[in-house]
Structure 1
Amino acid sequence: MALTDLKIKKAKVKEKPYKMYNSLGLFVLVNPNGTKLWRQKYQLGGKERTIAHGPYPVVSLRDARQKRDAIRDQLAAGTDPAVQKRLDQIEAETQARTTFLLVAEEYLQIAHDRELADARECPELCVSGPVHAVSDTQASKRSPNIMANWLRAANHSLTFRPSFSKLRMAR
């Protein structure tokens, strides 16, 4: 019998975790602390595995069923859903870390280190001007020519200031 929102909401807490099955491997795991988590069983290569879809109030019954169907499509295509989910997470983290500002600061730091390799104390790098105008832009969404032009402009407007963070004021 398929689950309904009402059945999930009225699920009682017990001493041990228990499962309320929906269909095609989808179930809600009801924990002793009261949390209700969506899980899905699937088989790949003769082994039974489980993948998480999130907590019940956040992930609705409809969303959980859509995720279940997406997982079944991935299995039909021959891909492991858990591995694909992890790859998607890594890609999202990488995209979040490759904003134009971070790429520009790394480039300018390398250029700065190259120019001041012989100096004893290197002043702190301060990026300003055209770089901050596009600082939150994803680097992968910009063409290489546009990025190169911004980097050249930023390199010309590069300012250095001494770092006083290690000095203490005498009282």
Structure 2
Amino acid sequence: MPLTDIEIRKAAPSDKVRKLSDGGGLQLWVQPDGAKYWRLAYRFGGKQKLLALGVYPTVGLREARAERERAKGLLVDGRDPGQARKLEKAARAAASENTFCAVATELVEKKRREQKREATIDQLERLLALATPSIGARPIADITAAEILSVLRGVERRGTHVTTLRLRSVIGAVFRYAIATGRAENDPTGALKGALTTPTLKHRGAIVDPKAFGALLRAIDGYHGAPETCIALELLALTFVRPGELRAAEWAEIDLDAAVWVIPAGKMKMGREHRIPLAPRAVAILRELQVITGGGGKYLFPSIRSAARCMSENTLTAALRRLGYKPDQMTAHGFRSAASSMLNESGLWHADAIERQLAHVDKDAVRRAYARADFWEERIRMMNWWADRCDEMRRGGEVVHLKISGKSA
């Protein structure tokens, strides 16, 4: 006769295991200590087998019968219920190990092994931190496009549309890595194209008119803030490196006697070492900076809060605002556009030499493979000419060009 809930509750233990049958192989084993276990006896492949279905009352009579019927269905399909249970358990264990957070961490470590720029890795980790609170603990194979959209909408509501698009791209990179390593079958972010607000691109403010640029240089000369900030702005004008490269510059990278600054590949946007010829004026203000800061620290421009960190990314921007320049007029990045524009307009320099000095990499892979020339000697002359040109624009007078290796610019 089938068991009843009352019968199960009242089933008393004895000195041996009591086996109460519900039919169809389903049994309740009452242990001598009073514990009650569900067991399913079945035959598969000509062998008698036993499957544990759980402990009563955590697994009730109704649930145990449902498991019995499920096992019968597997047997009809020619599958061993015990083996199916093991496979399901293994799949659950794998899913718990292959969470979005775990796969994302693996991807970050892979980027580190590939020696990607630390700034790139930092940005990757900052973006992933926006997603992990919501989906970090979820098995990556189970995450849906709707869940990802919910995460992205939360970021989008802050008004940071560019960040939202970057986050979608980063989440997609995690899924593609999961696919490549056999832990997911598709990238749900592909279904979200067009669902997010496309930001209106704003060009960085840059002064490219020589007279206006000269006025900017005179304003920098009259800056009443920290002298290190004034020097940083002038170095941006003279070297036209990316602001982040200047802020993170280290004394170990600079040889003042050889008048050269070598930025390691790990700090560069394109992942290639970049050499910068230093004009006499640049060397002079760097020596001045050594006197001001003591020159004993790691960074040229240490943070005011800690010498172990470099200058804040807002320092240069704030200085330009104090000088009266609005974001659409001039930015720290705008010194690159100014130099590029005026160097090209001069007609004195090879376009590839200018591009190399800007640390740009040609997007044409074939052309890039053949454009191996460093244009070093020309770049030395060009950077000296540019320093003189800056002095000319600052003074409003004529420039006296320096001679390099017997050649004038």
**Could you state the TM-score of these two structures normalised by the residue count of structure 2?**
0.33
Deviation at 1:112, TM superposition (A): 1.0
User: Which ranges in structure 2 are unaligned for 5 or more consecutive residues?
Assistant: 146-165, 175-409
Aligned to 2:93: 93
Aligned residues: 144
Alpha-carbon displacement from aligned partner over 1:24-67 (angstroms, at most 9, x marks no partner):
00010011111100001000111110001100101110111111
**What displacement does 1:138 show?**
3.2
- The offset of 1:93, in angstroms, is 1.3
Q: Does 1:77 align with 2:77?
A: yes
| Equivalent residues in 2 for 1:1-80, closer than 5 Å | 1-80=1-80
| Residue 150, structure 1, aligned to residue 147, structure 2 | no
SS at match of 1:134: helix
**C-alpha distance in 1, partners of 2:63/2:144?**
33
- Matched to 2:24, the amino acid is L
Q: Secondary structure at the match of 1:79?
A: coil
User: Partner of 2:310 in structure 1?
Assistant: none
Q: Is the 8 A contact 2:127 2:167 kept in 1?
A: no
Structure 1 residue 139 and structure 2 residue 155: aligned?
A: no
Q: Aligned equivalents of 1:28 and 1:142: distance in 2?
A: 40
Question: What displacement does 1:75 show?
Answer: 0.4
Q: Deviations over 1:43-96 (max 9, x none)?
A: 011111000110010111011111100000100110000110111111111112
Q: Conserved in 2, the CA contact under 8 Å of 1:100 and 1:134?
A: no
C-alpha contact (below 8 Å) 1:130/1:153 kept by paired residues: no
Q: Deviations over 1:105-150 (max 9, x none)?
A: 111112212318xxxxxxxx9874221233224322357xx99821
**1:111 equivalent in structure 2:** 111
Moved over 4 A (4+): 151-154
Say if 2:19 and 2:27, in contact at 8 Å, map to a contact too.
Answer: yes
Contact 1:26 1:38 in 2 (8 A): yes
Q: Is the 8 A contact 1:20 1:27 kept in 2?
A: yes
Identity of aligned residues (%): 29
Would the aligned equivalents of 1:38 and 1:53 in 2 still touch at CA under 8 Å? yes
TM-score by length of 1: 0.75
Greater displacement, 44-53 / 89-98: 89-98
Query: Which has more radius of gyration?
Result: 2
Query: How far, CA to CA, are the matches of 2:89 and 2:167 in structure 1?
Result: 26
More helix by share: 2
Q: What is the SS of the residue equivalent to 1:28?
A: strand
Amino acid at match of 1:113: R
Higher strand share: 1
SS at match of 1:63: helix
Counterpart amino acid of residue 133 in structure 1:
L
> Hey, what's the Cα distance between the residues in 2 that align with 1:5 and 1:75?
27
Q: Is the 8 A contact 2:128 2:167 kept in 1?
A: no
> In 2, distance between residues paired with 1:139 and 1:69?
31
Gaps of 5+ in 1: 117-124, 155-171
Q: Which residue of 2 aligns with 1:157?
A: none
| Secondary structure, counterpart of 1:115 in structure 2 | coil
RMSD of aligned C-alpha atoms? 2.6
Separation in 1, partners of 2:79, 2:4: 30
| 2:127 match | 130
| Counterpart Cα distance in 2 of 1:62 and 1:42 | 19
Sort the Cα spacing of 1:152 and 1:76 in 2 relative to 1 into closer, same or farther, 3 A.
closer
